[in-house]
Amino acid sequence: MFVSGGKSFARGGAVSAATVLIMTVTLGIIASLIFLSALLSFTLGTIKDKVDVSVYFVTTASEEEILAVKDQLLKLPQVESVSYTSAEDALIAFRARHSSDQLTLQALDELGSNPLDASLKVQAKNPSEYESIVNFLEASPTLSTDGASIVDRINYAQNKDVIDRISVAIGATQDIGFAVVILFAIASILIAFATVRLAIYTSKDEIAVMRLVGASNHYVQGPFIVTGIITGVISAIIVLLLLWPATWYIGLKTAIWFGGFSVASYYASNFAFVFLSVLLSGIGLGAIASILAIRKYLKA
């Protein structure tokens, strides 16, 4: 069956070449979906990293008390990270931001003390979880010392509209991205099936003769399945080779547009994943399409 399948592919000539071409386009679409999914994940991750809630503490709060709050927050399953900024660090950052504004710096010097508060910047795993984190901060009795809360203010109320809009946008983008992936995957399978079916159609007389002399269904199917697998492997290799110059060129042109995401770097660092995904897709599509396409003639 393996020898017969190889010979059938070699004898196919233009039909085999056309099948490889269409399968290459199909696997190219599948590879593009991998990069699209990676770009979508990178973009959503970048957006999530820019969303946070800051908790400001009263000036009388000690560093130990603030760090104790940080430890409590890190134990919450909704929290991704918590970073601490002391009042001194906040003052240094403020002076750096207003280094060209002498009037503001002069007014700050005239105060004679640091008016800025220490703070914790909290990042959630999902923007929709900020509300529950804020509720924990407002309700937790461990945040009080001597009966007075050490929390001065939380900027969640000011950022709530933005956070809610980002949460909706992320959810919609994920749903749309998933739908696009499914749509293109189905289209790719249909294209592969139609192409392999056309190739098998040219061998319908050969199949009829094999049936007449008593060949089993498995013996009839075997060579065509092998041919489909050969087609898928060759197409996968072509796609993988074409991806090197394609991702390099696209990476040069789009890295700035995509916020620093480079398809070339992604391909290089995730080559094993892309290689296996494309190769297994080619083998699977070739084999399954051959099985489905030849069933019509086995029932005749």
Q: Is the pLDDT of residue 77 over 80?
A: yes
pLDDT of residue 268: 87
Q: How does DSSP classify residue 114?
A: -
Instruction: Tally Cβ neighbours within 10 Å of residue 235.
Output: 28
What mean pLDDT comes out for the span 59-70?
A: 84
pLDDT of residue 240: 92
Q: For residue 198, what pLDDT band results from cuts at 50, 70 and 90?
A: confident
Query: Ranked by mean pLDDT, which of 8-22, 182-196, 275-289 comes out on top?
Result: 275-289
* Average of per-residue pLDDT values in the chain: 79
What mean pLDDT comes out for the span 28-34?
A: 84
pLDDT of residue 256: 67
Q: CB-based contacts of 289: which residues, under 8 Å, 6+ apart?
A: 189, 192, 193, 195, 196, 197, 228
**And the tokens for 202?**
């040219």
Q: Is the pLDDT of residue 300 over 70?
A: no
Q: Mean pLDDT check: name the lowest of 19-28, 214-223, 227-236.
A: 214-223
- Cα dist. 289→29, 202, 280 in Å? 17, 15, 14
Q: Is the pLDDT of residue 237 over 90?
A: yes
- Specify whether the CB–CB gap between 69 and 55 falls below 8 A: yes
Q: For residue 117, what pLDDT band results from cuts at 50, 70 and 90?
A: confident
Give me the DSSP letters along 78-90.
TEEEEEEE-HHHH
151-154 sheet: strands from edge to edge: 79-85, 119-124, 53-57, 151-154
Q: Is the pLDDT of residue 27 over 80?
A: yes
Q: Tell me which of 112 and 134 has the higher pLDDT.
A: 134
Residue 53: strand pairing partners: 122
What mean pLDDT comes out for the span 246-263?
A: 75
Percent of the chain with pLDDT over 70: 88
What mean pLDDT comes out for the span 25-35?
A: 84
Task: Count Cβ neighbours within 10 Å for each residue of 130-143 and write b for 16 or more, e otherwise.
Answer: bbebbeebeeeeeb
Q: Domain limits of the chain?
A: 2-47+166-298, 52-156
Q: Tell me which of 13 and 249 has the higher pLDDT.
A: 249
Give the amino acid at 81. S
Q: How far apart are CA 83 and CA 89, in angstroms?
A: 12
Query: Ranked by mean pLDDT, which of 78-82, 158-162, 182-186, 260-264 comes out on top?
Result: 78-82
212-229: per-residue pLDDT in tens? Answer: 787 777 777 788 888 888
Determine whether domain 52-156 maps to CATH 3.30.70.3040: yes
Burial zone of 222 (CB within 10 Å; 0-12 exposed, 13-18 middle, 19+ buried):
middle
Q: Is the pLDDT of residue 285 over 70?
A: yes
138-181: per-residue pLDDT in tens? Answer: 777 555 556 677 888 888 776 677 777 777 777 777 778 778 77
pLDDT of residue 141: 55
Give me the DSSP letters along 1-68.
-HHHHHHHHHHHTHHHHHHHHHHHHHHHHHHHHHHHHHHHHHHHHHHHHT--EEEEE-TT--HHHHHH
